[in-house]
Structure formats: C-alpha cells, structure tokens
C-alpha cells in the first residue's frame, strides 16, 4: 500500500501493473475525443487503485480535477518506477508529444480535460519496454517520438510529420475519412498504393461508421471538435443524406457519393472472380457472367456462397481476401482511381 498526503488527507493506493499501464496508455493515445478518453482513463485508475478514501463515479464527477490529476499522476509514476529508473526527469517527451497532438488535432477541449491532459505522466519508460512490431499505430508513434526526439523544443509539426512519413505511423492524423463499412476500410489503403499514396505515411485515418445512416450522426458529433478536414464516403443510395449534409458541412469538409451503386459494385470483376475461385475452390468455378446475375455485386457474391453451400458471406472476411489478391493494374478500376483522387 502506498500513501500520498494532499490537503491534510491521506490517500492510500495500490499500483498499476505493467499491462494495466499499457492498456491505459493505449486508451489515452487513440484517435478519440479527449473529453471522453481522458476522463474515462483517469476515473478508471482512481476507482481501481485508490484504497482510501473510496470514491464512486458520481463523486469523481464532482471532485476537483486538479486533485484527480494529482492522484493519478502519483499512482502512474510510482507504478512506472517499479520497473524503471527513468522517472526522475521533469518532462516526459512522449507525454509532451501526446499533449501537442491532442491540442492541435482537437478543438473546444473542456477545461477539466485540459487539466488532465497537463498531467506529467511518465510514458517513455513504458514505451521503451514494448515490442515495436507488436503494438498499435498510436503506440508506435509515441515510441518513435521517445527514440528520435530528445529535446522538448523539437516537439513541433514538422518533426512529428517527418516521423510519420518516414515510419508510416498514421499519427499525427492529417485527414479523417469516414466510410460506411468494413470493405472500404480494408481496401481503400491497398488501392491507394496503386496511386503511390500511403494512407499511413500521409496521415489519413479511416473510420468506419457502421452504415450510411450512422455517418451523419458521427459527423455531427465530431465536426466542431476537429481541426483536421473530414471526408465522408457514401454509396449512391445515400444521395438524400448527402443533400441534407450540404446544409451542415463545414468548409474544410466534403462528401463523396459513389455514382455507381455500392462500393463493391466498382471493384474489379476479375479481382472478385480470382479471389472467390482461389479461396473457395468450388466444384463449378465461377465465371465472369456469374457476377452479372444481379444488379448488386453483393447479391452476386451472396448467391455464390449460398448456391455452393459455402456458409454465410461475411464482408469483412471477404474484403481481407480481396486485399491479399490485389496484384495487377486491372484490379484497380477507373471508378476506384477517381474516388481516391477525390479523397486524397
């Protein structure tokens, strides 16, 4: 049990494990609205680690956030000191970078979140112990910052963007692309490389809305909170949604409407045929005409699965197989090319 004294009150707490530190660091540095992510992480740490006095979530909402910051900073840094002797520095470079990115990517951050964001958490010792090849992009970015930048005054857009470009880090994010479904999310970065563009190195972050009806509400939720441009991609049947979006779209943002059905409808027939025949090896191989049975490509693929008793057609699984098979120029249709030019 550990102890911190604040305003004549003794706060007794236990430490976080290394795995808990990593999980919370990941949550703090994901591309999320900081008003949500920071409060959630700081509250969770107090609810888990503070032994005395005990707080409920409701009580934390009414507590001075400077006290919350103080308690969590103490718990965090004491936990890090268990496995590292690098906690004596006054300023953590990785924390500075995270703070810089959040302050420049997001706007209208509330005062309480700014208090939490200004906590001096020792992130670098945690990052130093992580295997670079096994962690998410947000942690890779912070790890590269800790390795390549040594002086606080070098935390600026030019240096951070150079790191992103050199190591394909995605962060700092330069543009947000909101898509309807998982197929676009998986395949668009693959096709972009055909245009010699890399979404990761150029800072384009793809966010799946989970359907066309959810894209406008997602946009409304974040449009006034981001300093970066937002691009929304819709299937053709969302033209009414796009008409309504015109009235609320900010100048820096835009929408793209696929002019030929759904995203799957503008994919290469040869790519789809080659992928289905390669991975499912049906008794009767698929021919190009089989993909013209119905107007919608998804209906054709679903019929292929049902007629050959191959189980359920799952878009996410099939999109991953398509991504593995993008090899030839003919796999890159003119419709996909024009769409990507609009995104980029």
Chunked mean pLDDT (size 10), the chain, 344 residues: 65 94 98 96 97 93 95 94 71 95 96 97 95 95 96 95 95 95 93 93 93 88 95 89 87 90 93 89 78 91 87 90 92 93 92
Helix (H) or strand (E) holding 252: none
Give the pLDDT score at 157: 94
What CA–CA distances, in Å, run from 17 to 22, 24, 65, 269? 9, 11, 24, 51
Contact between 325 and 270 under an 8 Å Cβ cutoff? The reply is no
User: How many helices (H) and strands (E) in the chain?
Assistant: 17, 7
The torsion defined by the Cα of 93, 95, 96 and 97, in degrees rounded to 10, comes to: 90
pTM of the model: 0.89
pLDDT value of position 10: 84
Burial of 335 (0-12, 13-18, 19+ CB in 10 A): middle
Q: What is the pLDDT of residue 88?
A: 57
pLDDT of residue 6: 62
Residues 310, 195: Cα–Cα separation, whole Å: 35
Q: What's the confidence (pLDDT) of residue 311?
A: 84
Count Cβ neighbours within 10 Å for each residue of 299-333 and write b for 16 or more, e otherwise.
ebbeebbeeeeeeeeebeebbeebeebbeeeebbb
DSSP secondary-structure letter at 282? -
At 237 the pLDDT is 86
């Amino acid at each position: 049990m550990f102890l911190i004294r604040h305003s004549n009150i003794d706060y007794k707490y236990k430490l976080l494990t290394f795995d808990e530190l990593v999980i919370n660091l990941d949550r703090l540095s994901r591309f999320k609205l900081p008003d949500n992510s920071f409060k959630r992480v700081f509250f969770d740490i107090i609810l888990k680690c503070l032994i005395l006095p005990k707080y409920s979530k409701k009580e934390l909402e009414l507590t001075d956030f400077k006290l919350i910051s103080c308690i969590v900073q103490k718990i965090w840094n004491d936990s890090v000191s268990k496995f590292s002797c690098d906690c004596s520095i006054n300023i953590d470079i990785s924390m500075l970078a995270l703070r810089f990115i959040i302050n420049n990517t997001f706007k209208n951050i509330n005062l309480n979140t700014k208090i939490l964001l200004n906590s001096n958490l020792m992130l670098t010792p945690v990052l130093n112990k992580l295997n670079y090849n096994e962690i998410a992009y947000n942690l890779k970015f912070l790890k590269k910052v800790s390795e390549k930048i040594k002086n606080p005054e070098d935390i600026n857009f030019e240096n951070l963007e150079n790191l992103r470009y050199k190591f394909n880090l995605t962060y700092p994010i330069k543009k947000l692309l909101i898509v309807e479904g998982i197929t676009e999310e998986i395949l668009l970065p693959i096709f972009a490389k055909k245009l010699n563009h890399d979404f990761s190195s150029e800072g384009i972050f793809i966010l799946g809305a989970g359907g066309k009806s959810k894209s406008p509400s997602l946009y409304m939720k974040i449009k006034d909170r981001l300093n970066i441009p937002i691009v929304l991609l819709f299937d053709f049947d969302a033209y009414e949604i796009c008409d309504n979006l015109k009235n609320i779209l900010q100048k820096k943002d835009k929408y793209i409407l696929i002019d030929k059905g759904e995203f799957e409808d503008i994919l290469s027939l040869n790519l789809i045929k080659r992928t289905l025949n390669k991975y499912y090896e049906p008794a009767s191989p698929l021919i190009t005409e089989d993909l013209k049975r119905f107007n919608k490509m998804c209906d054709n693929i679903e019929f292929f699965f049902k007629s050959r008793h191959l189980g359920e057609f799952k878009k996410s699984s099939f999109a991953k197989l398509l991504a593995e098979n993008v090899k030839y120029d003919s796999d890159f249709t003119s419709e996909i090319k024009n769409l990507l030019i609009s995104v980029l």
